[in-house]
Amino acid sequence: MNEAIYQRFQEICRQQRWKCTAQRLAVFAYVHDNDDHPDVDDVWREVKGTLPSVTRESIYRILNEFTDHGLLRRLDHVTSARYDCQVGPHGHFLCTRCGQIQDFPLPEPVTVPRGAISGDVEHLELRLTGICKRCRKPQTKTRKPKPAIQEKEEP
Ligand SMILES: [Zn+2]
Ligand SMILES: [Zn+2]
């Protein structure tokens, strides 16, 4: 593990008054600067490599805790929730065949006419869907499809 990541994580734990647990640290190390928009199973698979006894439930809880504290952004209504380390406004292009999500900068700040919404906006997302370049070409290898959601482990 990279020392800088560890330092950054310790700093976050201090701010949030979290215990620096091995599980939180492993999740943080994997998701920070990860622009693949992983889902809970991607994170679980990775963390199990170093912490074999970790449950999918714990990973899920940590990801949502990170989301609640603004370290991640959760993208719902895809195939399964995906987590994004870029929390600032940007657009997403979702390939409906392989599930890959690409980021793109928004061309200009999105503005909503005054009075068009009654309520406070907390989340803005521009999501485009289609078929990515790799899936468009039939002869090239596409990303492995996401495995079906696994049942959670018995405690
Ligand atoms: Zn694709
Ligand atoms: Zn993104």
78-107, pLDDT tens digit by residue? 677 888 888 888 899 988 888 889 999 987
**Confidence category of residue 61, pLDDT binned at 50, 70, 90:** very high
**Confidence category of residue 44, pLDDT binned at 50, 70, 90:** very high
Protein residues within 5 Å, CB atom, of ion ligand 2: 84, 86, 103
Q: Is residue 55 part of a domain?
A: yes
- Ligand 2 centroid – CA 126 distance (Å): 10
Q: Do 79 and 93 belong together in one domain?
A: no
Q: Is residue 70 part of a domain?
A: yes
Q: Is residue 128 part of a domain?
A: yes
122 pLDDT higher than 80 = no
How far is CA 53 from each of CA 35, 48, 137, rounded to the nearest angstrom? 26, 7, 40
- Total domains in the chain come to 2
Query: What is the separation of C-alpha 123 from the centre of its chain, rounded to a whole number of angstroms?
Result: 15
Which pLDDT value is given to residue 146?
A: 61
**Confidence category of residue 75, pLDDT binned at 50, 70, 90:** confident
Q: Is residue 49 part of a domain?
A: yes
- Ligand 1 centroid – CA 96 distance (Å): 7
Q: Pick the range with the lowest mean pLDDT from 41-45, 49-53, 85-89, 145-149.
A: 145-149
Q: Do 80 and 103 belong together in one domain?
A: no
Q: Which amino acid is at 154?
A: E
Q: Is residue 136 part of a domain?
A: yes
Q: Do 80 and 137 belong together in one domain?
A: no
Q: Do 61 and 104 belong together in one domain?
A: no
Reported pTM: 0.65
Residues spanned by the domain of 52: 1-87
40 pLDDT higher than 90 = yes
148 pLDDT higher than 60 = no
- Find out whether 92 and 128 touch, Cβ atoms under 8 Å: yes
